[in-house]
Structure 1
Amino acid sequence: MDRRRAIRARGITKCFGEVVALDGVDLDVAEGQIHGLVGPNGAGKTTLLGLLLGLAVADSGRLEILGTPVGRALAAPDGVAGFVDGPGLYPSLTARQNLAALAALRGRDAPTTPIDEALEQVGLTDVADDRAAGFSLGMRQRLGLAAALLSRPRLLVLDEPANGLDPAGKKHVNGVLTRLAAQGTGVVLSSHRMDDVEALCSDVTILATGRVVFSGPLSKLAVESRELDYRLLTSDPPAARRLAAETPGIAVAEGDALVVHALVPALDELVVRLVRAGIALRELAPVVSPLEAAFLALTEQQEAAA
């Protein structure tokens, strides 16, 4: 059964003077889906996120958020929370005071339980009474996420949420986003880190020069017709290199490490030959991830066309 749409955008255009930031952008995000938004600098990602958060309005096109058409008012639609260009915090206030102030600005009471619950979700309970001025970049990002969670959003819009996070912090935040999606919250996150997008997102939209050059499941980017470089680590590198050179469709790169350039079917045939020869395959990984390879190819094509 199809999930309801958290976002439906058709033909969204936004200009700043003579600069076309968004040019006929379509976007679909389902409730309960974590959707990645990637693109080079200047592609229009921040502008699109701002539209979703009610920080700007489109010049033309139609935008529906949580089933409601977005009008011309500069206001975040009900049920939407998040941040662009990093969360806005009061440096002189503690983490708890920041959340209480934000709740008050939204016209709501600030009971202790929801605030403490939000701090616990993002792993900031131990520093709840420390001033934000002393927080690292990663801690500020987590506090911004806690602020977004206060309203129990049905759509969460985040700009580089993993920025500045150490591995433990990233794991913690990823767990929060995964749980929210499982509970039905739609999540849109922008990131320059392809590994973060691949770890979290089921679907991705790639922007270049204000236009969508791809939108859909990540699995479509890993099509078998795309040649990639793969790194192999085996129990017998010299024998594995000889087998690779003898396998049709395999190009072996020069160097000490065994790196091959191949389509997926040829790579599968090489793995079969290694197993038959009794050579243990200890590692097989793309040198550049399928998402990153597609990102580079698609954005370079669009920029060349523009």
Structure 2
Amino acid sequence: MDTTLAVRARGITKCFGDVVALDGVDLDVAQGQIHGLVGPNGAGKTTWLGLLLGLAVADDGDLEILGTPIGRALAAPDGVAGFVDGPGLYPSLTARQNLAALSSRDDRTAGIDDALAEVGLTDVADDRVRGFSLGMRQRLGIAAALLAKPRLLVLDEPSNGLDPAGKKHVHGVLNRLAADGTAVVLSSHRMDDLEALCSEVTILATGRVVFSGPLSKLSTENRELEYRLRTSDPEAARKLVLDTPGAHVVDGSERQGAEVLVVRAQVPAVDELVVRLVHAGIAVRELAPVVSPLEAAFLALTEQQEINR
């Protein structure tokens, strides 16, 4: 048993009638890690989060959470908190009253105030939840989870409905928790959030893991990506792209403006191109993926899985 792992899963299978929701899933989540769960609708993400929260049990396989082997009872070990399909809240109660209903007596003063402050809801602590926006409800759900002082926090689409200020608060909370040793597993369709927060991701398709590992591996293991390239001399840059093995200009890139090229290449070819541009005295003003490595890998891997079904 590895005590540095918050989650250790081997061969996890879960079926609902004839539907195989999870098919032999292996997954490790380290303590202090923010781990993203990505996949199309029906990939098994919600089922997996439910297993971690003790809302369902696996039909087969071995699952350890916070060092505790999980059996066939519908229960999560102490130290696990979070929500699936949105937090369960009482609309007629205020934010503070909702947290009081979920907390122990010892937490009902400082703990509640601290949790509300952590997610930026102090100013609306005494407002009824029925008037809250989706983003405010998400933040209150996270505050409720924080009351348990979790060592594993499980969140389903935590950025739903968040405005920029709310997202900043939530990102700060999750990063602070991870820095203090809490493991965070979150599911999201927001690739920008996952790339900003997660050190590792797992991509699910049709109940199977098609990728699991550091985000940095996606750019090297994935096939070619398209990059926006803006330089001080677009015509000279175009010639250098054509002279760089493994790189080429995408047809029609000129429609994005005279100064922008769209270059398709793998990472080694992009590195070589940058070196050539610098040696030629051409300033690189912008070099960024048109589609992020995570999104590109997600699309490629899940599409391939569908083809192989």
**TM-score, normalised via structure 1 length:** 0.95
**Larger deviation: 174-183 or 221-230?**
221-230
Match of 1:255 among 253, 256, 260: 253
Find the partner of 1:118 among 107, 110, 115: 115
CA contact (8 A) 2:245 2:269 kept: yes
SS in 2 for 1:223: helix
**What is the alpha-carbon distance in structure 2 between the residues aligned to residue 232 and residue 23 of structure 1?**
41
Query: Which residue in 1 is equivalent to 2:98?
Result: 98
Question: Conserved in 2, the CA contact under 8 Å of 1:224 and 1:264?
Answer: no
- Cα offset, 1:302, TM superposition: 1.1
Runs (5+) with no aligned partner, structure 2: 255-259
CA contact (8 A) 1:225 1:264 kept: no
Q: CA deviation at 1:240?
A: 2.0
Is 1:232 the counterpart of 2:235? The answer is: no
Q: Write the letter of the residue equivalent to 1:138.
A: G
Give the deviation of 1:137 after TM superposition. 0.8
1:209 has 2:213 as partner: no
* Aligned equivalent of 2:283, options 280, 285, 292: 280
Work out the CA distance in 2 between the residues paired with 1:224 and 1:13: 27
Contact 1:251 1:262 in 2 (8 A): yes
Q: Which residue of 2 aligns with 1:153?
A: 150
1:280/1:224 CA distance change after superposition, 3 Å: farther
Give distance in 1, aligned partners of 2:120 and 2:74. 32
- C-alpha contact (below 8 Å) 2:107/2:147 kept by paired residues: no
Alpha-carbon contact 1:37-1:45 (below 8 Å) kept: yes
Provide the C-alpha distance between the structure 2 equivalents of 1:101 and 1:109, rounded to a whole number of angstroms: 12
Of 295-304 and 47-56, the range deviating more from structure 2: 295-304
The equivalent residue for 2:177 is: 180
The 1:82/1:120 distance shift into structure 2, 3 A limit, reads same
More divergent stretch after superposition (58-67 vs 275-284): 275-284
Q: Partner residue of 1:36?
A: 36
- 2:119–2:143 Cα contact (<8 Å) kept: yes
Q: Secondary structure at 2:253's aligned position in 1?
A: coil
Query: What is the SS of the residue equivalent to 2:301?
Result: helix
Q: CA deviation at 1:109?
A: 4.6
Q: In structure 1, what is the Cα distance between the partners aligned to 2:38 and 2:69?
A: 25
Between the two proteins, the alignment pairs up a number of residues equal to 302
Unaligned stretches of 5+ in structure 1?
none
Which residue identity does 2:163 align to in structure 1?
D
Distance 1:224 1:71, change over 3 A: closer
In structure 2, the residue matched to 1:245 is 242
The reply to whether residue 137 of structure 1 matches residue 140 of structure 2 is no
Task: Name 2:257's counterpart in structure 1.
Answer: none
Query: Residues 138 and 159 of structure 2 are in contact (CA less than 8 Å); yes or no, is this contact kept in structure 1?
Result: yes
Large movers: runs of 4+ above 4 Å: none
Deviation sequence 1:218-271 (CA, Å, 0-9, x none): 121121773111101112223322332233322101232310111222222222
Structure-2 residue corresponding to 1:23 = 23
SS of aligned partner of 2:154:
strand
Q: What is the percentage of aligned positions where both structures have the same residue?
A: 81
TM-score (norm 2): 0.94
Q: Paired residue for 1:293? A: 296
